[in-house]
């Protein structure tokens, strides 16, 4: 097999703590065209929250969401159902589910959305 056709040279080594241009998001279609982490396949966020931080109720029509709790504790309401996310837990949310959150402790979290559609977030009052 000729493997020379498999090398597109699009790779990047970075540090998610050092990327602040996008409020914690460091991979996705929202990035500038010349940035190597620009892709429409998925979005990744690393965020540190303080106790009491809240996420406004919202839903996505086209992208799924995966939250991974690295440290801390949060309470989420998914369509009114209470779910607690603690260190080591993850939460998968499919399209058309209303999610709202509150961090109960200082927390560190990764979020992954797929695909990357920057306009696919709809706030709920």
DSSP class per residue in 82-102 = EEEEETT-EEEE-TT--EEEE
Q: How far apart are CA 90 and CA 88, in angstroms?
A: 7
- 95-115: pLDDT as tens digits: 999 999 999 999 999 999 999
Among candidates 39, 18, 16, 55, which has minimal Cα distance to 118? 39
How buried is 16 (Cβ within 10 angstroms: 0-12 exposed, 13-18 middle, 19+ buried)?
Answer: middle
Whether 6 shows a pLDDT value over 80: the answer reads no
Q: Which domains does the chain have, with CATH numbers?
A: 51-115 (2.60.120.10)
- 41-65: pLDDT as tens digits: 999 999 999 999 999 999 999 999 9
pLDDT for 67 equals 97
Q: How far apart are CA 34 and CA 54, in angstroms?
A: 33
Q: Which residues contact 82 (CB under 8 A, 6 or more apart)?
A: 75, 76
pLDDT for 19 equals 64
């Amino acid at each position: 097999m000729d493997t020379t056709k498999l090398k597109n040279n699009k790779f990047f080594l970075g540090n998610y703590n050092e990327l602040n241009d996008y409020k914690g998001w460091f991979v996705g279609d929202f990035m500038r065209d010349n940035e190597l982490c620009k892709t429409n396949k998925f979005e990744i966020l690393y965020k540190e929250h303080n106790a009491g931080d809240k996420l406004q109720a919202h839903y996505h029509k086209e992208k799924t969401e995966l939250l991974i709790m690295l440290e801390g504790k949060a309470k989420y309401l998914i369509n009114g159902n209470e779910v607690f996310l603690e260190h080591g837990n993850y939460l998968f949310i499919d399209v058309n589910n209303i999610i709202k959150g509150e961090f109960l402790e200082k927390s560190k979290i990764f979020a992954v959305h797929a695909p990357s559609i920057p306009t696919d977030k709809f706030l709920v009052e």
